[in-house]
Amino acid sequence: MGISPEVHRYILAVLFLITGILHFVKPKLFTNIMPDYIPYHLAMVYISGVAEIIGGLGILFEKTQLWAGWGLILLLIAVFPANINMAVESIQKSGYASLFSIVTILRLPLQFVLIYWVYWACLR
C-alpha cells in the first residue's frame, strides 16, 4: 500500500511553505529568473510567495483543499515562464553542457510532475 494522499498533502504543504517563505527571505533568487516582459519583478515575487504560503496552508484543511489545490496548480503554470527563462539564460551564458544548464533543463518537466502531484493529492 502506498503513502496516503494526506501524507502527500503534508509534504507538498511543507515544500510550498518553505518556497513561499524563501520568496521573502531571498527574493533575488526569484527576481533574477523572471523574464523581462513581466513587470514589477519584486512585487510579483512577493505575490507569488504569498500565494505559495496560502496554498500550502490551504491544502492542509479539507474545507479549503480543493480551492488551494487549484490555486497551486494555476500558480505552477503561471511561474513556468520563469523556469523557461532560467534555462534559456543559463544555456546562453554557459552552453548546454554546463551542469547548471542541464539542471535547469531537467527542472522544466518537474513542473508538470508537481502539477500532477498537487492534482493527485488534493483534487481527485
For the chain, 124 residues long, give each residue's pLDDT as a single digit of tens: 589 999 999 999 999 999 999 999 999 999 999 999 999 999 999 999 999 999 999 999 999 999 999 999 999 999 999 999 999 999 999 888 899 899 999 999 999 999 999 999 999 8
User: Cα–Cα distance between 37 and 60 in angstroms, integer?
Assistant: 34
Cβ partners under 8 Å of residue 26, min gap 6: none
Cα–Cα nearest to 49, from 27, 68, 65: 27
C-alpha cell belonging to residue 29: 533568487
User: Cα–Cα distance between 107 and 91 in angstroms, integer?
Assistant: 13
